[in-house]
A and B are shown apart, each in its own frame.
Chain A
Amino acid sequence: MTTVRRTRRWRGVVAVALFACAIGLLVQDATVLLLGAVGAGYAAYPWLSSPPSVELAVERSVEPTDPAAGDEVSVTVRVRNVGSETLSDVRLVDGVPPMLTVCSGTPRHAAVLRPGGTTEFTYAVRAEHGRHQFDPTTVLARDVTGATEVETTVHAETAVACAASVPEVPLRRQTRHGTGTVPTDEGGSGTEFHQTREYRTGDPLSRIDWKRRAKTGELTTVEFREERLASVVLCLDARAPAYRAAGDEEPNAVACGREGLSQLLTALADTRNPVGLAAVGRESCWLPPGSGDDHLARARRRVGSHPAFSTLPPSPETDWETDGQLRQLRRRLSPGTQVVLFSPLADEAMTAFALELEGAGTAVTVVVPDVTTTATRGGQLAAIERTERIRRLRSAGVRVVDWSPSDPLGPELLRAQEGLA
């Protein structure tokens, strides 16, 4: 996405010319009249240059590559001008992952780049749990007079992966056919004991309870919990109300949700469960459940660059008309698919959506990043509302993971499964 805009910074210089000319005529002084020429010359200055054509390649290297939480990770960004024009004023703002804080240096840089020229800058971020993907680098290039400004983004796939990501995703018992890892309430072959029942002809000999046969003479069959595959759709709430944050310097709930979502994506990719992606907000994003390396790569790319996953808050007056997106999403979910929803539950719509899905027989897990604050009255009220919504969801049978984003997500998920949270 490239935008070209005029800065109009040289507009005022015409006033200098007119002022000098006017005074010169008034006092009939040739020298003063002559001064107007400088203003007139500079009024023509912005017309001499054209908008720069920005062709940049960004390369990012991260050191160390496998940090522990709290470590300083140094990020080196190398930007090369691959175009044929000298860029006299390039301003760069690197897309620091929204959940990470910069602890030394600055992710911003300015440079003059000849064709083929390179510039480099380094800063450090503090690693947090999880896998943090970098956003695209924002480039602002002005021509030599500064009259036009080109804004664009350059993408370079980089991530800071910090150990202690989600080890295992506890999925709900809504499954599809195919042998997998999610225990079900159906008896069959598996590892976890389910029940014993009367012998029916055709049961495998290995599953007959021979000890009981020896004791009582009855023929019974042992059943284990059938383990199946679960098809999961990870859904991010990125509607305008979800861009809440505890403070100006804190990551917003969409950033937290996206971070949790990419952790779950990585963890689920290690199983054979098909995973899909959905987001509602700026645009709707939908990637049907699938598995395999290609599918995972596609999902990662979506999370990294699809506008629906953007963590930049919208301007206050935007209205995205998301009810239609939610309806569409509900239609797309095939029966037997379960949903993991990442939402701060900042308004009623998402709560209603989760309840509706659960009521229609889709198993829903809601991960609620806590972005409320107790510092303000409004914040306290929001916290109360949030607690109330969580309570309502839980009483309807929805599994809710109350997640404070500074903690790792994995243990919280397991705790929610055991019903302790």
Chain B
Amino acid sequence: MTRTHVAQPTRAGSVLALLAAVGVVAAATDFGSVAGLTDGAESLGLALGVELVGVALLVAAAAVRRRGYRVVAGLLLVAGVAGVVGGVVAVAAGAGTLPARVVVATSVAGVGVLGAGVAPLRSNRARGLVTAGAAVLTVAVVLGGVLTDAGAFSLLVAMVAAVVAWDAGERAVSLGEQVGVRARTWPVEVTRTAATALFGALVVGATFAVREMNVTNVPLVGLLLLLCGVVTVLVALSNY
């Protein structure tokens, strides 16, 4: 008997999450043109390619293991992990200044971890890996702001992409648990991921509008009070 309910992350959501994660890498490095990355887009594309091939191998390993070929699955798993690690190492050891390489390597590692989450290897780890991957992507974006001269707009877009990647990945996992991969789920995933991305665009727009107001001469005490207010609001918001 074929099992009708296969609890794995759904395909559409996984693809959306990976696309958003790749978007993070692209945006955080100003689409490969950030200073310090000598051969720019090409090496970045290569590293991402190796990373995605690694993730694809992990997916293949899971599919082969379900059919019962444990040895082949093990080999594919090793190859997949090698691909995921290899992509990160390729960037880290590549040409360019150290800060640029750190940022790119971290973001590529985020793609790899998120990819391992949506590859249906261990269903109980999927949600944790997706969150970890998104966290690594977030750290990469913040590092991009600290270490490189990437533009504010690209970084904000990268941040939104990281949240969208997590949102799509988490939904792929939850839909996979409740509905399974055999059902048609893509309309739900596309609609809701689009809603999240649209809201992100609004946030970026609002942030830019505030930035354009160019408020500069705030006294230090006022700034501190503002920060305290921000933290209070955030804690209140998190209480949903």
Contacts and interface: CB of A to CB of B under 8 A. Distances in A.
A41 B203 contact: yes
A272 B30 CA distance: 83
Interface stretch (B31-39, B69-77, B174-182): B174-182
B interface: dominant SS: helix
B207 A37 contact: yes
A166 to B, nearest CB: 27
A41 B206 contact: yes
Interface in B137-151: 138-139, 141-142, 145-146
Given A34-B207, A110-B175, A44 B231 contact: no
Contacts, number: 157
Interface residues on B, range: 35 or more
B178 A35 contact: no
B230 interface: yes
Interface string A10-38: 11111011111101110101011011111
Contacts of B180: 106, 108
A43 B238 contact: yes
A52 B159 CA distance: 29
Interface in B95-129: none
A58 to B, nearest CB: 16
A38 B207 contact: yes
Interface string A90-112: 11110000000111111111111
B195 A16 contact: no
A101 B1 contact: yes
B179 A110 contact: yes
A40 interface: yes
Contact of B138 (A19, A27, A31, A103): A19
A63 to B, nearest CB: 19
A105 B4 contact: yes
Contact of B237 (A19, A34, A44, A88): A44
A41 B171 CA distance: 19
A377 interface: no
Contacts of B156: 34-35, 37-38
Contacts of B191: 88-89, 112, 144
A92 B5 CA distance: 13
Which of A8, A12, A89, A105: most chain B Cβ within 10 A? A89
B93 interface: no
B147 to A, nearest CB: 9
B227 interface: yes
Contacts of A42: 163, 199-200, 203
A11 B240 contact: yes
B183 A110 contact: yes
Given A29-B146, A31-B145, A88-B192, A38 B200 contact: yes
A34 B207 CA distance: 7
Contacts of B152: 31, 34
B67 interface: no
A54 interface: no
Nearest to A23: B142
B179 A144 contact: no
Main secondary structure of the interface of A (DSSP, over half): mixed
Contacts of A308: none
B240 A123 contact: no
Given A13-B163, A38-B163, A110 B203 contact: no
B131 to A, nearest CB: 7
Nearest to A32: B145
Contacts of B145: 23-24, 29, 31-32, 35
Interface in B158-175: 159-160, 162-163, 167, 170-171, 174-175
A170 interface: no
A32 B153 CA distance: 11
A89 B238 contact: no
B66 interface: no
A350 interface: no
A14 B237 contact: yes
B240 A47 contact: yes
A264 interface: no
B240 A88 contact: no
Contact of B240 (A8, A35, A92): A8
Interface in A140-189: 140, 144-147
Contacts of A102: 4
A6 interface: yes
Contact of B142 (A10, A32, A37, A93): A32
B113 to A, nearest CB: 15
A91 B191 CA distance: 14
A45 interface: yes
B240 A46 contact: yes
Contacts of B182: 105-106, 108
B234 interface: yes
A118 to B, nearest CB: 13
A89 B188 contact: yes
A111 B206 CA distance: 32
Residue among A32, A35, A111 with most chain B CB within 10 A: A35
* Shortest 5 CB-CB contacts between residues of A and residues of B: A41-B203, A32-B145, A14-B238, A43-B237, A38-B159
Interface of B: 1-2, 4-5, 131, 138-139, 141-142, 145-146, 152, 155-156, 159-160, 162-163, 167, 170-171, 174-175, 178-180, 182-185, 187-188, 191-192, 195-196, 199-200, 202-204, 206-207, 210-211, 227, 230-231, 233-235, 237-238, 240
7 contacts: A19-B138, A23-B146, A35-B156, A40-B237, A91-B175, A91-B179, A112-B187
Given A23-B146, A91-B179, 5 more contacts: A11-B238, A13-B163, A21-B227, A110-B185, A144-B195
